[in-house]
A and B are shown apart, each in its own frame.
Chain A
């Protein structure tokens, strides 16, 4: 058969063209499977979570697990938080983060089931859910993200039908599970755009802002319509497992406006909600990085202020809940 294929490729120019193109795609698929973790910090972060989850089980210290996104990754200074909590409680906290880029409630939900379930955290732990613009609300799960990062062959079918309601999304989930080129094209693309077009990030942000403004003008309202059902269910499930859950609305370049009754929703589910959007000391200067290329995440000074305030709050919170 192999000889037959070789003969066909040699003898037929069209077969040669198709086989070279297909061969390149297959090679690329392999190359991506080996190099994706080094190409994308985010991918390697998600993939490392299995080990992190396993090591949590062996760690007897009280733990803090941050579920967030890049805003939490840049905005929480691990050293400051550990030091402040040690000063406050006289005990060492183990600090873990699950902060995929653009992480949403779906990422945290699927990530939890895959990496942190089965009592890995222990009772003394706090789960900090940090979100910004559009990360806390009931946004539909992204089939590419879920298919690429969290779903295996066995749970593919149940997830396909339980999580997604449209044929297109279900098929995207399968395609993302099957092909790294398909599901991770956007990671390569972002790198490519940032390299080719130096102003890409800043331009993309301006375009996004303008598009939000236009859609607000068109729809005629400024309040968010999305609910917090997924978040409240997630918080409820974690509190039932004996974990303390704190939901934080992080300081943000574009502050996220949650539903007005978010604190009631979260407290009904057993968690606490804290709004850090308008912390006095965090002004525009806290969003300017030394290279002037990233105005969307807190810089070191901003992170230090935010983390100190967060540590203060956690201390008060822990004491109020009798966990000194």
Chain B
């Protein structure tokens, strides 16, 4: 059940109608049942895995809280890591590692019987695993008390608006909203929720899905047919496609949750206005980057020492890449950011307190960072390292496969993204993603009408699955 399907909206209307009239405890049970239906709609067998995570982390959380013995606590923490990362490794990475092992043995000329596994990837596994894991780590670090009710914990892990593609919420933020009665729907939360849902649908169906056709075309051309302009068009279009796709999902999740009294975090904050790669990661997929910062980067020692921060940055970002998928291109993508961030850190260390400033310099930094991101998206979109190499080689060659597609694609990209960037400039300058809600009512009407009418009359002819479902 995707957010873009009528099935989902019929389901939501039904759930929401019942939710509004039942008391708080029943609301939680209703949301839990609804979340299981929502997830089971894809494949009911994946519910088993979800519940292994839920039950094991719930019990481990309880046990951690109940013991002061350091060794026992370490063992319990290790057990949780083993269960969660074991499930993730089996279902997400086993195919990849068995294929790589087989290739390596073939290359070494060693006879082997490594069979390549064909395991189906359960949807949203990386999201709910990380969310559940953060709960156990927080209890281990004594930053959180465990929840007493399994149902409440299950709802925290499987809350349907953010179950399959985030934002990855922290227990300290979401669990209190689960366990305590929530604010009833009021005019402001209805208004903000509606804006977020409409904007999310607009980002997905109008921006991302329209650009998807151009991206698929550019990146499916054979190397001998492709020209430099095709690669460039593909890379720029994909940068906005993935942004629209993922930001769209996050906005819809936030809007739906808001209607039900939950406040989810903003997962994106005008990321293309970042003046550095480090800043980009504070504005892009914030729930993952902050998770990695708190649970991986800091666990390795963070920035405490002279040279270790560089290693920690590289390792954390390579893991961020690997989190996205079992492919070397993702590892390279993450590592590329790690290297960029390490260079930035080194530059800042050398520069010390002397800092250039001014509008022109800031604009230049934003321009450069944006193009680093566009290049990184080429790595992300490549299906293999060979394909990436061919894209880079093609950048040296001029021309384009098809002038019509190039003209149409670039004008579509401009028509969709220039207005978006103008709107985001407003958000960026006011540092408020909901700045529109504070504007004059006439302006709000115009914006809402543009979104609604575009959804009817300018959405892509075919809907593409959300990209982050595969992670």
Chain A contacts to B: CB under 8 angstroms? 12-14, 16-18, 20-21, 24-25, 28, 167-168, 171-172, 175, 181-182, 185-186, 188-189, 192, 196-197, 199-200, 202-204, 206-207, 210-211, 213-214
Q: How far is the CB of A261 from chain B (nearest CB, A)?
A: 31
Q: What are the 8 tightest A-B residue pairs by CB atom distance, in nearest-first order? A: A203-B408, A171-B6, A202-B404, A199-B404, A214-B220, A203-B404, A185-B456, A203-B405
* Known A20-B445, A21-B445: A14·B190 in contact at CB below 8 Å: yes
Indicate whether A17 sits within 8 Å of B187 (C-beta atoms), given known contacts A197-B411, A211-B217, A214-B220: no
- B191: A residues at CB distance < 8 A: 14, 17
CB neighbours (8 Å) of B458 from chain A are: 189, 192
- In the bound complex, how far is the Cα of B7 from the Cα of A175, in angstroms? 11
Return chain B residues, CB-CB under 8 Å to A20: 445
CA distance A196 to B456 in the complex (A): 17
- Given contact pairs A175-B6, A182-B456, A211 touches B220 in the complex (Cβ within 8 A): yes
Bound form: Cα–Cα A202–B461 in Å: 16
Contact of B444 with A by CB under 8 A: yes
With A197-B411, A199-B408: A210-B7 Cβ-Cβ less than 8 Å: no
CA distance A221 to B59 in the complex (A): 51
Cα A214 to Cα B449 with chains together (Å):
37
Give B5 Cβ to nearest chain A Cβ, in Å.
5
B415 within 8 A of A: yes
Enumerate chain A residues within 8 angstroms of B457, measured Cβ to Cβ: 181, 185, 188-189, 192
Starting from the known contacts A181-B457, A210-B217, A210-B221, 5 additional A-B residue pairs (CB-CB under 8 Å) come to A21-B452, A171-B10, A188-B457, A202-B404, A211-B216
Choose among B10, B411, B457 the residue with the greatest number of A CB atoms under 10 Å from its CB.
B457
Residue B73 is within 8 A (CB to CB) of chain A in the complex = no
Residues of A within 8 A of B444 (CB): 17
Interface residues of B (CB under 8 A from A): 5-7, 10, 187-188, 190-191, 194, 213-214, 216-217, 220-221, 402-405, 407-409, 411-412, 415, 441, 444-445, 448-449, 452-453, 456-459, 461
The answer for the CA separation of A186 and B6 in the assembled complex, in Å, is: 17
Q: Which residues of the other chain, B, contact A199 by a CB distance below 8 angstroms?
A: 403-405, 407-408
Q: How far is the CA of A305 from the CA of B188 in the complex (A)?
A: 67
Task: Give Cα A248–Cα B177 distance, bound, in whole angstroms.
Answer: 64
Chain B contacts of A16 at CB under 8 A? 441
Q: Which residues of A contact B461 (CB under 8 A)?
A: 186, 189
A10: shortest Cβ distance to chain B, in Å?
A: 12
With a cutoff of 8 Å between Cβ atoms, the chain B residues found around residue A167 in the complex are: 7
Contact of B217 among A17, A25, A207 (CB under 8 A): A207
The residues of A that contact B415 with a CB separation of less than 8 Å are: 196-197
**Residue contact B456 to A181, C-beta cutoff 8 Å:** yes
How long is the Cα–Cα vector from A14 to B194 in the complex, in angstroms? Answer: 11
Q: Kindly report which residue of chain B lies nearest to residue A182, judged by CB atoms.
A: B456
The answer to whether A172 touches B6, judged by C-beta atoms less than 8 angstroms apart, is yes
Q: How far is the CB of B229 from chain A (nearest CB, A)?
A: 14
Chain B contacts for A188, CB-based, 8 A: 456-457
* Interfacial chain B residues near A210, Cβ < 8 Å: 217, 220-221
B1 CB, min distance to chain A CBs, angstroms = 9
Query: How far, in Å, is A185 (CB) from chain B's closest CB?
Result: 4
Q: In the complex, A185→B194 CA distance in Å?
A: 22
**In the complex, A200→B461 CA distance in Å?**
13
Q: Which residues of B sit under 8 angstroms from A25, Cβ to Cβ?
A: 452
Q: In the complex, A63→B71 CA distance in Å?
A: 91
Complexed CA–CA distance, A18 and B188 (Å): 13
Q: Which among A172, A196, A207, A213 is the interface contact of B405 at CB below 8 angstroms?
A: A207
Report whether A189 and B459 are in contact in the complex, using a CB–CB cutoff of 8 Å. Answer: yes
**Bound complex: CA of A175 vs CA of B408, how far in Å?**
31
Whether A197 contacts B187 in the complex (CB less than 8 A), given A182-B456, A189-B457, comes out as no
A12 contacts across to B, CB distance below 8 A: 187
- Please indicate the chain B residues that have their CB under 8 angstroms from the CB of A18 in the complex: 194
Give bound CA distance, A13 to B194, whole Å: 15
**Bound complex: CA of A294 vs CA of B445, how far in Å?**
39
Residues of chain B lying within 8 A (CB to CB) of residue A204: 408
Residue of A whose beta carbon sits closest to that of B448: A21
Complex: A11 Cα to B234 Cα, angstroms? 49
A197:B408 contact, CB within 8 angstroms: yes
CB of A207 within 8 A of CB of B6, answer no
User: In the bound complex, do residue A206 and residue B402 qualify as a contact, i.e. CB atoms below 8 Å apart?
Assistant: yes
